[in-house]
């Protein structure tokens, strides 16, 4: 093998090493993917969709009401929407959501999902915790019925994109 061939080969290996290292850093610290399991986020997210989520956003900002987040628990991860932040009072009355006594507009809910939302609360969200619900309120395991309040460090990212299936590609909202 000539010196020029060896040099080209080494350059090629360096480029691959840099690409792999960069991909590892991006996946570990910035972005990752998760698969939506079940119908609890219908109609916003469908069972089997793969979403890309932003892992660094909550190091520089706080989770906000309306964010669709990935919650990591020891047994499994969940995809839910933040409804109440620390210090909020959350109540569902007559199929309507109230946060701190104010009626919330929920454009992301279908009419059926809104009408299937049963009365709940009022509950006060403790400091350092969040109240989450799925968009398919009648079947969602969430802060009302099994997940309880979510610790801030259990929220590992905010969903940004649906990346699979390709015909569903787009921003999450």
Catalytic residue among 34, 80, 129, 140: 80
Distance CA 91, CA 103 (A): 9
Could you tell me which of 93, 122, 97 has the C-alpha nearest to residue 108?
A: 97
Distance CA 105, CA 154 (A): 26
**Residues present in the chain in total:** 173
Catalytic residue among 34, 40, 140, 143: 40
Residue 5 bears catalytic tag: no
Residue 40 bears catalytic tag: yes
The single residue listed with the structure tokens 């959350």 is 90
Catalytic residues: 40, 80
């Amino acid at each position: 093998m000539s010196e020029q061939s060896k040099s080209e080969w080494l350059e090629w290996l360096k480029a691959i090493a840099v690409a792999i290292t960069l991909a590892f850093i991006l996946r570990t610290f910035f972005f990752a993917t998760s698969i939506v399991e079940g119908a609890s986020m219908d109609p916003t997210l469908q069972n089997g969709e793969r979403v890309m989520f932003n892992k660094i956003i909550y190091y520089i900002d706080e989770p906000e009401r309306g964010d669709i987040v990935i919650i990591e628990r020891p047994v499994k991860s969940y995809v839910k929407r933040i409804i109440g932040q620390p210090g909020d009072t959350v109540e569902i009355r007559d199929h309507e959501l109230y946060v701190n006594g104010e009626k919330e507009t929920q454009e992301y809910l279908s009419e059926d999902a809104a009408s299937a939302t049963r009365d709940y609360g009022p509950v006060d969200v403790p400091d350092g915790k969040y109240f989450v619900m799925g968009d398919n309120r009648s079947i969602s395991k969430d802060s009302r019925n099994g997940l309880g309040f979510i610790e801030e460090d259990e929220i590992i990212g905010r969903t940004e994109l649906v990346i699979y299936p390709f015909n569903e590609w787009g921003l999450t909202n």
